[in-house]
Structure 1
Amino acid sequence: MQPTIRVLPAEDLPAAWQLGRLTFGSDPQAPPPTGPPAGRTSYGAYDRGGTLLGKAVDLHDEQWWSGATVPAASVAGVAVAPEARGTGVARGLLRALLHGAHERGAAVSTLFATTTGPYRALGWEVTGELRTLDLPTAVLPRHPRPAHLTVRAGTPADLPATVDLYERLARHRNGLLTRTHPRFQVGEELPYDGLTLVEHGDTLVGYAGWNRGRGYGPDAVLTVEDILAATAEAARTLVGVLASWHSVTPTLRLTTLPGDAVSAQLPLELARQHEHDTWMHRPVDLVRAVESRGWPAHLRGQVTFALTDDLAEWNTGTWDLAVADGQAHLRRSSSEADLHLSVRGFARLYTATGTARTLAEAGLLHHTTPDPGALDLLAAGPPAQALDYF
């Protein structure tokens, strides 16, 4: 018998927490009850006796796509009781989550996967990695500090400025969260041990939030939780401040944003990977995904393709895509399509992490034309990135 899927009521949150604790091996001490968290919808799967068999959470996020905000479903906390695994519980949960996300207006979905196979079977596809690196602090470059830049310790009063700097740097990229969800709300205390600011006059041009860790021996680690810079000078200055920790924290640990100003100053050839998290992408609603995001202003073109989505039937059909003047439109078509794209293939193209030819080689695109390259129109723009784990 198929389980019953419904929105998780508040009285079942302790059971959901316990299921998550057992699945992910988290702290056995339950957090204090605070009521249903804002900005999320939790789903539960139940057997006939009302026992919770599985859960999944839809975080009501937004993502930046070339200057436009795209409503997103960040899928988190997917857990199924060991006795119920392999029985379709996860599929039922994620189908319900997609339908709920669609009803509330989401366009795309992202998740971090501990295993990719089940999610690929449901239309998500691997589109990148979030990498946390360890670097020897002693090898970090130290440059003379420019006279026009000021370095100081930040306080909670400076947190809104760091939020503004993040938006300035994230909004022209693709896939990064807007950090407007309630879980990112700044409080009256720093969320880390220290905050280092780099300013040019009254303008914040770089910051690093860090946790000191324990000890000062060979195993000591300085963990940078968040670091961004708007200029190369600000990035060099921040890296120089981090280098000054070399005598008491031999290892610097940080999550990098590939291609940003900070990464350009790091000796990445000396880095060791501490951790990597695979992230996957999926459309929730094709039309919203295409029409709500920004597109390169110079791009013009049109292509027709067919797509079948077994989990989100509103996406199934033949579509005409037209892109011009920084905008795109997707309309249902009555034409015969030579390009048949899978949902996973759409995710790879939309995130600019694949081309039509590579998707055809992978079996994610079937075509009857000699060259499927017209569909590369969907892959325009910089590749999508992730910086925040959930």
Structure 2
Amino acid sequence: MRVRELDLADLDAAWDLGRLAFGNTSERAASTRIVVPGMTRWGAFDDAGRLVGKAVDLHHDQWWSGRAVPAADVAGVAVAPEARGRGVARAMLIALLRGAHVRGAAVSALYPTVAAPYRACGWEAAGVLRTVNLATSALPRHRPAAHLSVRAATPADLPAVTDLYERVARHRNGMLTRRGELFDFFAADGGLPGDGLTLVEADGELVGYATWQRGRGYGADSVLTVDEALATTAEAARELAGVLASWASVAPTVRLCPLDGDAVSTYLPLESAREHERDLWMHRPVDVARAVSARGWPVHARGVVDFHLSDPLAEWNTGTWRLAVADGAAELTRIGGEADLRLHVRGFALLYAGAARARSVAQAGLLHTTGVAPDALDLLGAGGPAQLLDYF
């Protein structure tokens, strides 16, 4: 088996492999026939030169406490049925990690169809993207605020929408920046997303938006799918909730992905939500030193801790490190000797993403200690849990 980057001549075979693996019946997108900037496609070939596996490295950036961290987000992993169980996926993921490390990526996320192969390669479950159904009639109704204006967007409004998303996302952890050559490529047509994009403005400034898909029919099973609803003020969030509520007579169900603790979620009756779908996502460091130094850290977090890290697939991560956090920044420095805390890369992923505390990581067997309490490594998770709002 040989693993290499795919070229144009390989893309038809890659499309067929993905269609077979994921049951895709939709029309083939033009982007699957050309080189796409900000995307590295990897393939595994058998001795006869046939493509038996593929994986894609998406050159994203992720927000981590106010700073953009370069990421290698993984998508489209597929292996031909005859080649499964022979180490194809592992070989591709090793090549993808090495390539991502060379180009400067620090972290990685992916949505698995099965978690075990990715766990074996150092990724660990860090969060869930939830899609829920709400009764449209249960959404709060109110008289529209006089100082706010609500209107349909035009393509000229898209930069302002991107800016508002950034104001919501940049101080969280894990969310995509939605900037860079990959996003520029797919936004080049300048078209509006979905069936509608509703804006809420205050004195000409965008303070909230919702993108939505109308769906089919107007009977009891009609669903309004809200791709995203974000706001930067409580008044704008209430206005958006009222606009969604106005669909009650023709779309009894609103379907959306709530963002934990944001302005819009505080106006939704989430206690009555019914889960429609849940997509587990996994996290992994590509380069631990970059992952620590590139992100923002809470200004109140301060401390120093030594630990040994084991990363079987990325030898550049393995070794004894000193983590020092102070004044909203951190650094990971190699040191000599051993350490009382011995951490597996999957445990690092859990701590960094704020998905678990050190004692839980130790109970999972991903952190071992020699006579000391593991709590000092909670410093690695300062800043709260990570969350994704994009599926890839």
Q: What is the TM-score with the length of structure 1 in the denominator?
A: 0.97
Residues in 1 aligned to 2:18 and 2:152: alpha-carbon distance in whole angstroms? 37
Residue in structure 2 matched with residue 103 of structure 1 by the alignment = 102
Q: 1:366 aligns with which of 368, 371, 389?
A: 368
Q: CA deviation at 1:270?
A: 1.1
Q: In structure 2, what is the equivalent of residue 218 of structure 1?
A: 220
Letter in 2 for 1:145: P
Cα 1:181/1:277, change in 2 over 3 Å: farther
How far apart in 1 are the matches of 2:156 and 2:14? Answer: 36
2:137 aligned with 1:135, yes or no?
A: no
Residue aligning to 1:13: 11
CA distance in 2, matches of 1:100, 1:106: 9
User: What RMSD, in angstroms, separates the aligned Cα atoms of the two structures?
Assistant: 1.1
Q: Which residue of 2 aligns with 1:25?
A: 23
Q: Tell me, yes or no, if the aligned pair for 2:208 and 2:231 is still in contact at 8 Å.
A: yes
Gaps of 5+ in 1: none
Partner amino acid for 2:193?
Answer: P
Aligned position for 1:178 = 177
1:346 corresponds to which residue?
348
Deviation at 1:218, TM superposition (A): 0.8
CA separation in 1, counterparts of 2:288 and 2:99?
15
Unaligned 5+ runs, structure 2 = none
Identity between Structure 1 and Structure 2 (%): 64
1:21 touches 1:28 (CA, 8 Å); kept in 2?
no
What TM-score do the two structures reach when normalised by structure 2? 0.97
Q: What is the deviation of 1:34?
A: 4.4
Report the AA paired with residue 253 of structure 1. Answer: R
2:207 is matched with: 205
- Aligned residue runs from structure 1 range 50-65, under 5 A: 50-65=49-64
**Further displaced range: 30-39 or 230-239:** 30-39
Give the CA deviation at 1:183: 4.7
Counterpart in the other structure of 2:153: 154
Aligned length: 388
Is the aligned partner of 1:193 residue 2:192? no
Per the alignment, in what secondary structure is the counterpart of residue 240 of structure 2? helix
Partner of 2:122: 123
Q: Output the amino acid matched with 1:236.
A: R
1:233-252 matches, cutoff 5 A: 233-252=235-254
* Displacement of 1:182: 4.0
C-alpha displacement of 1:188:
2.7
SS in 2 for 1:329: strand
Distance in structure 2 (CA, Å) of the matches to 1:120 and 1:188: 39
Check whether the contact 1:5–1:92 (CA below 8 A) recurs between aligned residues: yes
- Residue 308 of structure 1 contacts residue 343 of structure 1 at CA under 8 Å; is this kept in 2? yes
Structure 2: distance between partners of 1:350 and 1:188: 36
State the distance in 1 between where 2:307 and 2:332 align.
10
Residues 246 and 337 of structure 1: CA distance in aligned 2, closer, same or farther (over 3 Å) = same
Residue equivalent to 1:278: 280
Distance 1:188 1:323 in 2: 42
